[in-house]
Structure 1
Amino acid sequence: MSAAGLDSRTGWVGRAAEPTLDPRGAAGRERPFRPDIEGLRAVAVLLVVLDHAALGVRGGFVGVDVFFVISGFLITRYLLRERATTGRISCARFYARRARRIMPAAALVIVATTAASWAWLSPLRLRESAREGIWAALSLINLVLARDGTDYLRASGPPSVFQHYWSLAVEEQLYLVWPVLITLAAGLAGARSRGGRRAGDEAGRVRPRGADRAVVIALLAVAGGSFALSVIVTARSAPWAYFGGHTRIWEPAVGALVATGTASFGRLRPAVASPLSWLGLAGILTAAFLLDRGVPFPGVAAVLPVLATACVLAGGCAAPALGAELLLGRAPLRLLGRLSYSWYLWHWPMLQIWAQATGRPLALGQRAAAALASLLLAVVTYRLVERPARSRPVLVRRPLLGLGLGASCAAAVCVSSILAVALVSVPGGTAAGPARPLGDPASAAHVHDPAAAESVLRADLARASAESRFTGVTASPLTSLLARALRVDRLPPDLTPSLGTAQDDRQANRCLAMFAQTAPAGCVVGDPAGRTTVVLFGDSHASQWSAPLDTIGRERHWRVLLFAKADCPPAPYRDYIEDALGRPYTECDTWRADVLRTIARLRPNLVVVGSQARDRLAGRGPGVLAGLVRDLRATGAAVVFLRDTPFPGFNVLDCLARHPARISACAVSIAASRLASSARQIDNRGAREGGALLVDPAGWLCTADGCPLVVGNVLVYRDWSHLSDTYARLLAPYLGPALAAALHAGPSGPARAPVGLWPAAEPGHREWRILVGDLARGPA
């Protein structure tokens, strides 16, 4: 939150709270107290809270931009006044003032949030939250969030309970250098400015001189450079643009520019100042109700709330009788403005911990209750912590004590967070045991003979076709094992991978290209000297099959090349928007084109395509994927399309850690697994129309009653949707025969393939696809 802990006064901390001048001001005079700013802070925090609580203001995130502009205005006005009255800027006094105002309340909320995470969240989330709490206390959380936002494997996790601290971090990073910037600019302005003084009159009005012109020039340079970066980075990487200080500094710089012109704005005629302030307030509200998260932000879109806030500040300098202060200066808004910092600190963890503890989104009444409860906590925090810490006379007089208070608060956060991590116990242990096999791999050896595979398939097809209706999950050799797993309630003591290490159980995904990468890595697994070349091509849902393909390649002497990129559909959908980047995924297009050229040059024997079924692409129809499959077959390769795996849609590790004695509560129902989603069916249809053989892994993961998350002692998923390497590798004896059958068919397609005829999900269609459960008859 911006303008954290600041009031609307320019005098020394500890001055009387009441204004010392007529609130209407006098022409050209700078008012020590600005009721309109206090009310404007209330508007900003209301927008943010209503947005985060989903209470009807979809663009309330612009409240943070309002705070940034207010903060730049107040801080710069304070520094300019100090230089005018004392001839210098005391960095020690400035940093001590910031520490007193920011750290006590911030540290209290961090410690309380960590304790609440210990009480109500899973042990795994507590570990993550404790680490993030340390980064928040050190004012570096924005960099962590920007990094995680560009990491595909982290970006889709639950929001951090300390995510809202990013704006505090941006401010503190900015104000680490702000007084130095102003001092240097003034010091380089010529002989008179180097003296460090400028004239002021008895009313406190500041008259710009050479030093002030130098400050304005410096602020213009900072604002212009940062805004240009904001536009550029927003188009390239939304997380870094949103959380980065380099793309946000122009916003407080705009407020600072208004501060340098306070005297000039104070001489505005009421006929100009009044409409200007109302126009600014209207602009802020317009941005809040028109913008949403579909608009690239900050970038150009941030201009509206930033300039609107500047208009309110500038118009209010003249204190026009009919200005926006008529509304903003009302007692309720001013009271809420004083509470805004503490309310901002409390509201987000209240909403997030409640939702994450229950494991489901909050209802409207619950969100409203969380917002009100956090406001009550803000009242207590303001009266007992925030106000005493910033106004205690001994702390005001002795800057070193103020700095020591801030350092002590940060140290307390670090110690409490480290203790929380050290004391938490993760169910299931931290040392994994050896994985129990799902069946006897030797039992599938007969399918190395394509003729035997076809005979087995047709015999089992008659049995499978006798089912009363299509459930989306065919029977497989693992059905009985999966059914037993659904009835297990306790985590096994030798769980592998353990919950504490499962997130990193993706060694075979080392070749997954991240967002910024455009050149295909082309990692080789299996038997590098093999004469049969197999290519795995797709996104992270394709990459999760890297481990079994490595095993299959070594056993069958296949050379396997891996081409997979995070959240990059293998089919060339135009203008595909990557959520984490907040823009068209051009890196995906470049990478895909390079991969397709490589495949054409390699002329592999088999291409295995995998992709997440994306609901937002369902409206594009099956034609794009069908065209991709035809292009791949034109290279002379047989093509297999791996149907998308069941989708838990929640963090599996967190759920199991919360319910170690009732893991069946975390099982995924068929209805929730997206197996019957329209996006999945359209992908399947496109692959079928293009001539691919379809392999459905659902039978290895689910029964008609649901999908277990632990099978034997093996963890099936490592996050919200991706298989663990350990479980995927155990599926090699079942995937291998299906791929061998596809190789036997060759590029001519289903007509020559040992496949079965099975009813498709779409009425009126018939679908050729490999019944993977019937090709590999291992014991259940």
Structure 2
Amino acid sequence: MAAGGGTPTAPGPRASDQRSLGTTFAYPGLLYPRVTDARPPTPAAPVDTGPAPAVPVADTPDSPDQPAGPDRTAGPDRPDRTAGPDRPDRPDGLDTADGSAGRLRKFRPDIEGLRAVAVVLVVLGHSGLALPGGFVGVDVFFVISGFLITRQLITERSARGRISLAGFYARRARRIVPAATVVIVATMLGAWRWVSPLRIHSTGVDAALSAVSAINMRLAQAGTDYLRAEGPPSPFQHFWSLAVEEQFYAVWPLLLVVTAALVGPARRRSTGPVAVLLLVVVAASLTLSAVLTPRSAPWAYFGSHTRAWELALGALVALGAPRLGRLRPALSAQLTWLGLAGILVAACVFGEDTLYPGLVAVLPVAGSALVIAGGCAAPRRGAELLLRRRPCQLVGRVSYSWYLWHWPVLVLWPLASGEPLRTGEKIAAIALSLVLAVLTYHLVENPIRRRPVLARRPALGLGLGLASSGVAVVVALLVVQAAALPTGGPTATTSLAAAVGASVGPGPVSAVSPDGPAGPGADPAVTGAVTVRSAALTRLIEQSLDLGDLPGGLRPSLEQAPNDYRSNRCYTSITSGTPTDCVYGDPRGRRTVVLFGDSHANQWFNAMNEVSRRNGWRLVPYTKGGCPPADYPNFVLETLKRVYTECNTWRADVLGRIRALSPDLVVIGSEARTEAMRVGPGGMTKVVRDLRSTGAKVVLIEDTPYPGFDVPDCLARNPTNVRRCIVRVAGAKLTEPQRAIEIRGAAAGGAMLVDPVPWLCTKNECPPIIGDTIVYYDKSHITGTYSTALASYLGPALVRLAG
């Protein structure tokens, strides 16, 4: 939820993943009814006092939910004729503590223009065209929504003496759900056509959760699952902000009703108790955001508990609107320009490196509040001079629909074309989404909101919302059922098990030559590794490069492949700093072996478990997502967008436990991280020496080749041309400097090296399927099934090295 540009690739909880098209997590916010606001009285129009007339606010044709056209816009050059003593049929808005009320503007052109600013920031940020901090548009929408909804609720209480919960939820339903349903259904149909069959189930779940305003929970959870953080982006990710708002408004009207009941009739018209409640929400939620952002960025970004303060601040502005309407024009004008400047500065300065939301979110949130607060006085020289311009008004009017459409178009376009979005295509995608937004506004959003029968009968509005959400869920389920994974052709002629069986035994152990898989000119440290070569496996790898059609009988199946990594129960998540002790292999074995490292060590768990069982070893795995075994001070995990303190804590704890174990052998594995280029080989050397000081022998399994794309997804997309999913050795990160640095550091510390590349590749290419087995479960980790098969090669290498 930082930002960045690019085209849709694999997702992750990174802030960059959350804020731009090139990553997993996208966001803007929406949900904004049109309601009245206070305006300062003129000398000719004295302030009204006393209770407001009991007018049915929500059910009149001019209710707050109804849009006002340009001809009804009040401003410096157009007198406001919608409220005041001469128009007693308009509700007078909020009662202040002393019972006075300000005059109202029926329509706020500055807020309409602010919506335009927010949606443009979001669209530009998500497309990657400009403004990497455009994700702050979501904060602008949250404040607007908090202001308008609270004004609507308190105005209704003032006019009627009570709040109709049925009426409120009915207005929300007819305002939000129909347009969202159209987009969800259309996007699911597009996904049926263009999204990989392997991802259609996940996409359908996202669609259903979007329809019931729960998608933010799923995104937060996905953002903390390091092993699944690299999937392609969902076309429904942007619904998270709508889910946050709906969750807030499921509770907020109830709190107002309960507060009114608790304070009693004497103080029911006072806004004081509500203000106290909002101040508590702001303080608590902002504190949670500040504390949680550096600890668990996905939950801080997508959680309604860490975003509630933004809506509550908008609500506080609503409570103070009558008094704000009496500010001096010069001061109120300055506030609006200052607020707008704060929003734009945040959009320009924030980016993918910003730890967000946290305290830095105060800048765009406070800026939005200042624009709205200053606008209560309708200053003639305020930011409204810019925001009320016709382009801003037109874009603001369709901003909700544009927000709904922009992300699905940006995600599905490259899937349909088969190519990443270039600048011209991004502009075209944005234009297409705007056209769809205008059509949706005029054909769906506005007609349904203006339907008199729905306004008069809340039950119909609620029924419409429930039925629309139900339609979206049903369509999602039907598409999931209709989308079938490719079954493959005839079963592979040679199974991996047969090739492995032909080479079971000690086998020859030989050094990799300088012109081996690492390529000519590789670092000398690389060439000191050992590997077990098998003629049968080598032939099978070469044969597998000639696969045309997807073979049948795959292990694991395409459907199972993305989850073929969950065998190790003690794998530690990125949010935990405490290791768990587990024993695998032969629990009664006389020799103890430790597997230690990050997810690229954990990919060898299945092989190590099998090797340990065969050799009577006791296996103790210590692996943690994104946590390299090397000592890299101030290591920043991109997923969390901060120093990975949990890794430092976990590593120190694990090293202490390994010393207590006094193992015979420690096998380490690690992703070749760019951090090695900053620290140098010393980070790996230090840890290897610490491990060897326990009396254990240390072996580093060098990193496996990187496909750089999701392999099962590629296979599902290309069932008749498997060769499109072949990994080129030259582009598989085998010759990048960080790999050589880590290997050099391990060797300098006294570690022995195992090179796994000959078990996956020929000299130039790595097939995605070897025999009947899928090799990778994502874009960089080998499947548990293939890892198990490699026990027949890893085992002899470890026996040879460990003695």
Is the shorter-chain TM-score for this pair beyond 0.5, marking a shared fold?
yes
1:206 matched residue in structure 2: none
1:572 matched residue in structure 2: 631
Q: Secondary structure at the match of 1:104?
A: helix
Residue number among 34, 42, 50 corresponding to 1:7 in the alignment = 34
Alignment-mate amino acid for residue 31 of structure 2? A
Deviations, residues 187-246 of structure 1 (Å, cap 9, x unaligned): 33344234xxx4xxxxxxxxxxxx211111111111111111111111211000000000
1:762 matched residue in structure 2: none
1:17 matched residue in structure 2: 68
Distance 1:725 1:538 in 2: 17
Mapped pair 1:457 → 2:510: yes
1:208 matched residue in structure 2: none
Q: Secondary structure at the match of 2:505?
A: helix
Q: Quick one: structure 1 residues 315 and 741, their matched pair in 2 at CA, closer, same or farther if it must change by over 3 Å? A: same
Residue number among 621, 624, 639 corresponding to 2:698 in the alignment = 639
Mapped pair 1:530 → 2:589: yes
Per-residue deviation at 1:469? 6.6
Q: Secondary structure at the match of 2:440?
A: helix
Distance 2:789 2:131 in 1: 48
Q: Secondary structure at the match of 2:640?
A: coil
Distance 1:470 1:489 in 2: 32
Q: Contact 1:136/1:162 (CA < 8 Å) preserved in 2?
A: yes
Q: Quick one: structure 1 residues 230 and 371, their matched pair in 2 at CA, closer, same or farther if it must change by over 3 Å? A: same
Mapped pair 1:39 → 2:113: yes
Per-residue deviation at 1:528? 1.6
1:143 matched residue in structure 2: 217
Mapped pair 1:551 → 2:610: yes
Distance 1:484 1:707 in 2: 11
Number of residue pairs the alignment of both structures matches? 721
Deviations, residues 390-409 of structure 1 (Å, cap 9, x unaligned): 11111111111110110011
Q: Which moved more, 1:400-409 or 1:669-678?
A: 669-678
Distance 2:614 2:255 in 1: 65
1:305 matched residue in structure 2: 364
Q: Contact 2:610/2:791 (CA < 8 Å) preserved in 1?
A: yes
Aligned-residue RMSD, C-alpha:
2.5
Distance 1:408 1:72 in 2: 26
Matches within 5 A, 1:413-492: 413-428=472-487, 436-437=496-497, 439-441=499-501, 443-447=503-507, 457=510, 476-477=533-534, 478-492=537-551
1:362 matched residue in structure 2: 421
Q: Contact 1:39/1:334 (CA < 8 Å) preserved in 2?
A: yes
Deviations, residues 731-773 of structure 1 (Å, cap 9, x unaligned): 11111111112112xxxxxxxxxxxxxxxxxxxxxxxxxxxxx
Alignment-mate amino acid for residue 4 of structure 1? L
Deviations, residues 654-685 of structure 1 (Å, cap 9, x unaligned): 11101011111011111221111111111111
Q: Quick one: structure 1 residues 60 and 603, their matched pair in 2 at CA, closer, same or farther if it must change by over 3 Å? A: same
Matches within 5 A, 1:486-525: 486-525=545-584
Per-residue deviation at 1:169? 0.2
Q: Contact 1:630/1:691 (CA < 8 Å) preserved in 2?
A: yes
Distance 2:676 2:61 in 1: 59
Q: Contact 1:187/1:193 (CA < 8 Å) preserved in 2?
A: no
Per-residue deviation at 1:522? 2.8
Q: Contact 1:104/1:385 (CA < 8 Å) preserved in 2?
A: yes
Residue number among 286, 296, 301 corresponding to 1:237 in the alignment = 296
Q: Which moved more, 1:489-498 or 1:185-194?
A: 185-194
1:721 matched residue in structure 2: 780
Alignment-mate amino acid for residue 302 of structure 1? A
Distance 1:121 1:521 in 2: 38
Alignment-mate amino acid for residue 92 of structure 1? A
Distance 1:479 1:14 in 2: 76
Distance 1:154 1:680 in 2: 23
Residue number among 370, 383, 396 corresponding to 2:455 in the alignment = 396
Q: Contact 2:532/2:794 (CA < 8 Å) preserved in 1?
A: no
Q: Quick one: structure 1 residues 608 and 658, their matched pair in 2 at CA, closer, same or farther if it must change by over 3 Å? A: same
2:89 matched residue in structure 1: none
Alignment-mate amino acid for residue 514 of structure 1? S
Deviations, residues 90-136 of structure 1 (Å, cap 9, x unaligned): 01111000000100010110111111011011111111111110000
Q: Which moved more, 1:2-11 or 1:344-353?
A: 2-11
Q: Quick one: structure 1 residues 509 and 355, their matched pair in 2 at CA, closer, same or farther if it must change by over 3 Å? A: farther
Per-residue deviation at 1:444? 4.7
Distance 1:469 1:85 in 2: 81
Distance 1:461 1:28 in 2: 85
Q: Which moved more, 1:364-373 or 1:478-487?
A: 478-487
Per-residue deviation at 1:439? 2.3
Q: Contact 2:30/2:241 (CA < 8 Å) preserved in 1?
A: no
* 5+ residue gaps, structure 1: 199-210, 448-452, 745-780
Q: Quick one: structure 1 residues 360 and 584, their matched pair in 2 at CA, closer, same or farther if it must change by over 3 Å? A: farther
Deviations, residues 535-586 of structure 1 (Å, cap 9, x unaligned): 1100111011111111111211121211111111111211222233332222
Per-residue deviation at 1:462? 11
Distance 1:144 1:410 in 2: 18
Q: Quick one: structure 1 residues 403 and 430, their matched pair in 2 at CA, closer, same or farther if it must change by over 3 Å? A: farther
Q: Quick one: structure 1 residues 78 and 507, their matched pair in 2 at CA, closer, same or farther if it must change by over 3 Å? A: closer
Alignment-mate amino acid for residue 632 of structure 1? L
Alignment-mate amino acid for residue 206 of structure 2? E
Q: Contact 1:508/1:547 (CA < 8 Å) preserved in 2?
A: yes
Mapped pair 1:329 → 2:388: yes
1:264 matched residue in structure 2: 323
Distance 2:619 2:227 in 1: 24
Q: Which moved more, 1:521-530 or 1:28-37?
A: 521-530
Matches within 5 A, 1:87-486: 87-194=161-268, 198=269, 211-357=270-416, 361-428=420-487, 436-437=496-497, 439-441=499-501, 443-447=503-507, 457=510, 476-477=533-534, 478-486=537-545
Q: TM-score, normalised by structure 1?
A: 0.88
Alignment-mate amino acid for residue 763 of structure 2? A
Distance 1:720 1:446 in 2: 31
Q: More helix per residue: 1 or 2?
A: 1
Distance 1:21 1:503 in 2: 54
Q: Which moved more, 1:429-438 or 1:133-142?
A: 429-438
Q: Quick one: structure 1 residues 183 and 136, their matched pair in 2 at CA, closer, same or farther if it must change by over 3 Å? A: same
Alignment-mate amino acid for residue 263 of structure 2? A
Q: Which moved more, 1:408-417 or 1:479-488?
A: 479-488
Q: Contact 1:652/1:709 (CA < 8 Å) preserved in 2?
A: yes
Q: Secondary structure at the match of 2:666?
A: strand
Q: Quick one: structure 1 residues 344 and 528, their matched pair in 2 at CA, closer, same or farther if it must change by over 3 Å? A: same
Q: Secondary structure at the match of 1:439?
A: helix
Q: Secondary structure at the match of 1:293?
A: coil
Q: Secondary structure at the match of 2:103?
A: coil
Alignment-mate amino acid for residue 445 of structure 1? G
Distance 1:418 1:57 in 2: 37
Residue number among 135, 147, 157 corresponding to 1:73 in the alignment = 147
Per-residue deviation at 1:509? 2.9
Q: Secondary structure at the match of 1:742?
A: helix
Mapped pair 1:56 → 2:130: yes
Q: Quick one: structure 1 residues 404 and 625, their matched pair in 2 at CA, closer, same or farther if it must change by over 3 Å? A: same
Q: Quick one: structure 1 residues 521 and 462, their matched pair in 2 at CA, closer, same or farther if it must change by over 3 Å? A: closer
Matches within 5 A, 1:700-739: 700-739=759-798
Deviations, residues 466-489 of structure 1 (Å, cap 9, x unaligned): x97769899942333212111111
Distance 2:348 2:550 in 1: 47
Deviations, residues 243-268 of structure 1 (Å, cap 9, x unaligned): 00000010011111111111111111
* 5+ residue gaps, structure 2: 1-27, 38-56, 85-100
Distance 2:651 2:797 in 1: 26
Q: Quick one: structure 1 residues 462 and 165, their matched pair in 2 at CA, closer, same or farther if it must change by over 3 Å? A: closer
Q: TM-score, normalised by structure 2?
A: 0.86
Per-residue deviation at 1:616? 4.0
Q: Secondary structure at the match of 2:588?
A: coil
Distance 2:188 2:414 in 1: 15
Alignment-mate amino acid for residue 116 of structure 1? G
Q: Quick one: structure 1 residues 658 and 190, their matched pair in 2 at CA, closer, same or farther if it must change by over 3 Å? A: same
